[in-house]
Structure formats: structure tokens, C-alpha cells
């Protein structure tokens, strides 16, 4: 039910943006900027470049919506992620072959905290999150992208299918394979540490 309400609100927002309603666009920017930034950051590893690219996503989205006749089934969220994905691909193409990816930005660290846990559980969770962040970078690009879209940016399978251009069934298969690969990498790391 919550998903249906969200999609209804998104369609209203998209309809307003199509009518060149700048207030609706500002609302969309406020609603989605952090998610788009986080998606880009996990893909490229640079906070400054992620901020610049996230801003560029919204500019491209505005221009695209104003110049194209969008299909009614599209959601604003899926459109934003599709444009983001293409912009990140363009970013990689524009870089030389020597791109360095660092998920640890000393100035802008991302902390994920669940306040309901005790200190021991928090420490265990922090260690596990570090392992997962490290192992995420070892995954194939398409697996990393699917995991970020699903678990960090909380897109549903239909939205991921729109963003990636894959069928919902393919997304489900890729997600399963990505989770298995990540699990295998984490378990290998734990085994090494036991020795």
C-alpha cells in the first residue's frame, strides 16, 4: 500500500514537472538528491565528484522531461536513476583507464547506525559493514550496481528493471547471484582471519 501511495505521489510530481512547475522540481530535488548522491558515491568513491554529478543528474532530468514525451508508466524515481546510471557511465568513459575507487572518504564518511543495538552489537555491526564495503568493491560492476540500487537506495525490482533495462526476472537473478557472490567473499574473508 505504501508503495502505491509513493508511486501515486511520484506521478503527480512528474506531471507537475512536465508542466514546468519549478516548485515541484525543487520538491523532487529535495526528495531524491541524497539517494542519487549516495548511489553515485558508492559507484565512483569521490564525494566531490558525486555531488557534482548528482546536481548534473537533476539538470539533465529537467531538460529531458521538458523536451521528451514520457511514457505514462515511468516513475520519476526510475527516470532519475536511469539518467544517473548513464551519467556515471559517461563519467567513467571520460576518465582515463586509471580510475581509483575509494569508498572511504576521510572528509565525508558514511556511518550507518541502528540506535536500538547495544555497544557490542554496534561494534560487531561496524566490523561487518566494513567487511561488506570492502567486498562490495571486489564484485563485478553489474552485481555491485544491483546491490546498491536494491539495498542502499531501496528501489523495488520494477524500478531496478527500468533503470538497468533488464527484465524483472533478470534483475531477480542478478540480485540472487550478487548476494551469493558477496556472501562468498565475506565468508572467505572470515576464514582467512580465523587462520
Q: Tens of pLDDT along the chain (195 residues)?
A: 656 666 667 777 878 888 888 888 889 899 999 999 988 988 888 888 899 999 999 999 888 888 876 655 567 888 898 899 989 888 888 875 544 444 445 555 545 444 444 555 555 555 566 767 777 788 888 888 888 888 888 888 888 888 888 999 999 999 999 889 988 888 887 777 776
**For the chain, what are the domain ranges?**
1-103, 114-195
CATH code linked to domain 1-103: 1.10.1740.10
- Predicted confidence at residue 112, as pLDDT, reads 45
CATH architecture of 114-195: Orthogonal Bundle (1.10)
Longest Cα pair distance anywhere in the chain, in angstroms? Answer: 63
| Its pTM surpasses 0.75 | no
SS3 track for the chain: CHHHHHHHHHHHHHHHHHCCCHHHHHHHHHHHHHHHHHHHHHHHCCHHHHHHHHHHHHHHHHHHHHHCCCCCCCCHHHHHHHHHHHHHHHHHHHCCCCCCCCCCCCCCCCCCCCCCCCHHHHHHHHHHHHHHHHHHCCCCHHHHHHHHHHHHCCCCHHHHHHHHCCCHHHHHHHHHHHHHHHHHHHHHHHHHHHC
Among all chains, which residue has been given the C-alpha cell 565528484?
Answer: 49
Amino acid at each position: 500500500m505504501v508503495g502505491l501511495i509513493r508511486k501515486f505521489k511520484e506521478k503527480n510530481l512528474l506531471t507537475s514537472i512536465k508542466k514546468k512547475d519549478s516548485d515541484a522540481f525543487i520538491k523532487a530535488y529535495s526528495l531524491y538528491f541524497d539517494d542519487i548522491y549516495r548511489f553515485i558515491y558508492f559507484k565512483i568513491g569521490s564525494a566531490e565528484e558525486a555531488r557534482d554529478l548528482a546536481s548534473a543528474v537533476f539538470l539533465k532530468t529537467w531538460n529531458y522531461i521538458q523536451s521528451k514525451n514520457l511514457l505514462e508508466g515511468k516513475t520519476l524515481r526510475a527516470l532519475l536513476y536511469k539518467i544517473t546510471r548513464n551519467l556515471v557511465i559517461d563519467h567513467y568513459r571520460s576518465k582515463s583507464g586509471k580510475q581509483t575507487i575509494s569508498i572511504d572518504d576521510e572528509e565525508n564518511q558514511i556511518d550507518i547506525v541502528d540506535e536500538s543495538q547495544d555497544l557490542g552489537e554496534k561494534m560487531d555491526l561496524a566490523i561487518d559493514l566494513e567487511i561488506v564495503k570492502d567486498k562490495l568493491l571486489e564484485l563485478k560492476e553489474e552485481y555491485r550496481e544491483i546491490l546498491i540500487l536494491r539495498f542502499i537506495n531501496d528501489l523495488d525490482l520494477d524500478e531496478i528493471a527500468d533503470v538497468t533495462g533488464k527484465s524483472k526476472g533478470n534483475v531477480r537473478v542478478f540480485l540472487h547471484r550478487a548476494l551469493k557472490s558477496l556472501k562468498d567473499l565475506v565468508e572467505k574473508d572470515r576464514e582467512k582471519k580465523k587462520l
